[in-house]
Amino acid sequence: MMMYHESVLLHESIDLLGITPGGIYVDATFGGGGHSRLILEKMGGKGRLFAFDQDEDANRNTEQQEFSANPGFTFVPSNFRYLKRQLRAEGIRVGTVNGILADLGVSSHQLDTAERGFSYRFEAELDMRMSRLEGETAADLLNTRSSEELQRIFSEFGELRNSKTLAQAVIQEREKKRFRTTGDFLELCSKNLMGERMRYFSQAFQALRMEVNDELGALEDFMKDALEMLAPGGRLAIITFHSLEDRMVKHFMKTGNVEGEPDQDFYGNITKPWDLITRKPVEASAEETKQNTRSRSAKLRAASKN
């Protein structure tokens, strides 16, 4: 059977959570369950682990791997942006969680399943939704967004240097034929590419994916909820794969907001919601990057709640 996902920064991230048996933990991005498995191991059969994933395939994966048979384990089939609402529905009180982990982005399973439309390597419907139960697909987005919006998406999320040209090309193309498949978009990218071919494709596809799944909006909501749900001394560890995400996490762990603006309390004192555990992000070792190319862009930050 194809491996669902190879976990990135596995031991480094779980060590930073400082797990103690009997605690309440959250894996916000279950995926292939690699991080969850190690968390459960460290919990030594005591306490609770809530694993979130908005992808129905990840849910099926828990059953295949018999996670569900573990009485301390609960799978929450939801977007992690609803962390607080979902945990409260499970009977978990605000300010009582001991550790929360998020390993952002998509899994290898999602990228390698052709019909999900995440990858330019396969011809398929251009979908890219992590949860196929709702929302616009990447094709919808190309067929409906304005030139300015498309330019912003390609520039901010894809960091494409010719984002305006590509956005205008999308508008012209869709007047002739609606976008439907990965191939439709790939062909347009090929005609407009700038710089290295594969890099251009992956950045253009990544830009669409981040918009389709509102990845930055979800991250911001999640971090706000995490701050509320954690107990004093509780830890948050986040692995990012995009510079914008890393900047948001860095700011949030410094100030409690993603803009990085120092907040003040009623008396004008600067508030410090977190103590940093990692001053600089932890990156994958040379050995890990050799074995797993995806780990090359990973950055792990952790903080404990004051």
Pick 1 or 270: Cβ nearer ligand SAM? 1
Pick 55 or 288: Cβ nearer ligand SAM? 55
Distances (CA, A) of 197 to 42, 59, 182, 204: 44, 35, 16, 11
> In the stretch 79-108, what mask flags binding to ligand SAM with x, by CB under 6 A?
xxx---------------------x-xxx-
Residues between 217 and 276 with contacts to ligand SAM, criterion CB under 6 A: 218
Pick 188 or 223: Cβ nearer ligand SAM? 223
Pick 31 or 99: Cβ nearer ligand SAM? 31
The residue number with the shortest CB distance to ligand SAM is 31
Give the shortest CB-223-to-ligand SAM separation in angstroms: 12
**How many other CB atoms sit within 10 Å of the CB of residue 167?**
23
| Interface with ligand SAM, residue 111, by CB under 6 A | no
Residues between 170 and 189 with contacts to ligand SAM, criterion CB under 6 A: none
| Interface with ligand SAM, residue 117, by CB under 6 A | no
Considering only residues 23, 32, 158, 256, which one is a binding residue for ligand SAM as defined by CB under 6 A?
A: 32
Pick 61 or 182: Cβ nearer ligand SAM? 61
Considering only residues 23, 31, 117, 158, which one is a binding residue for ligand SAM as defined by CB under 6 A?
A: 31
Give the shortest CB-245-to-ligand SAM separation in angstroms: 11
Pick 184 or 283: Cβ nearer ligand SAM? 283
Residues between 33 and 72 with contacts to ligand SAM, criterion CB under 6 A: 33-35, 52-55, 58
Pick 2 or 270: Cβ nearer ligand SAM? 2
Give the shortest CB-58-to-ligand SAM separation in angstroms: 5
* Pairing outcome for strands 274-276 and 97-103: unpaired
Q: How many amino acids of this chain bind ligand SAM (CB under 6 A)?
A: 22
Give the shortest CB-197-to-ligand SAM separation in angstroms: 25
Q: CA 61 to CA 240: how far, in whole Å?
A: 23
With helix as H, strand as E and coil as C, how does the chain read? CCCCCCCCCHHHHHHHHCCCCCCEEEECCCCCCHHHHHHHHHHCCCCEEEEECCCHHHHHHHHHCCHHHCCCEEEECCCHHHHHHHHHHCCCCCCCEEEEEEECCCCHHHHHCHHHCCCCCCCCECCCCCCCCCCCCHHHHHHHCCHHHHHHHHHHHCCCCCHHHHHHHHHHHHHHCCCCEHHHHHHHHHHHCCCCHHHHHHHHHHHHHHHHCCHHHHHHHHHHHHHHHEEEEEEEEEEECCHHHHHHHHHHHHHCCCCCCCCECCCCCECCCEEECCCCCECCCHHHHHHCHHHHHCEEEEEEEC
Give the shortest CB-242-to-ligand SAM separation in angstroms: 12
- Residues forming contacts to ligand SAM in the complex (CB under 6 A) are 5, 7, 29, 31-35, 52-55, 58, 79-81, 103, 105-107, 130, 218
